[in-house]
Amino acid sequence: DAKTTQPTSMDCAEGRAANLPCNHSTISGNEYVYWYRQIHSQGPQYIIHGLKNNETNEMASLIITEDRKSSTLILPHATLRDTAVYYCIVSLGGNQFYFGTGTSLTVIP
């Protein structure tokens, strides 16, 4: 599975959009991009995933560049409850997920 690179930490003002970048320059054509988050020491929570097209659900939007070498997770209106560590993972699917250290997002009041 391809490795990912994410910033260690980011801040975002409450109510503003949080844009979390991820580089995955060695991604292969059939690997998906998954995003999870982990609040405090709870189990990670699935957010969204995509292959080529941009995706949106009730939690977030996922923008994947045309060359698929990077992506951005967008939380449209960040709240204090969105403070968490966000993990970007590329995977063929199945259940072999390789987590990095993620981005620690702090939403500031």
Partner 1 sequence: NAGVTQTPKFQVLKTGQSMTLQCAQDMNHEYMSWYRQDPGMGLRLIHYSVGAGITDQGEVPNGYNVSRSTTEDFPLRLLSAAPSQTSVYFCASSYGRGRNEQFFGPGTRLTVL
* Span from 12-20, 21-29, 31-39, 62-70 in contact with partner 1 (CB under 8 A): 31-39
Parallel, antiparallel, or unpaired: how do β-strands 45-50 and 32-38 relate? antiparallel
Residues 54-93 that bind partner 1 (CB under 8 A): 87, 91, 93
Residue 97 interacts with partner 1 (CB under 8 A)?
Answer: yes
Quick check: 9 binds partner 1 (CB under 8 A)?
no
Choice from 42, 58, 67, 81 touching partner 1 (CB under 8 A)? 42
Question: How many chain residues bind partner 1 (CB under 8 A)?
Answer: 22
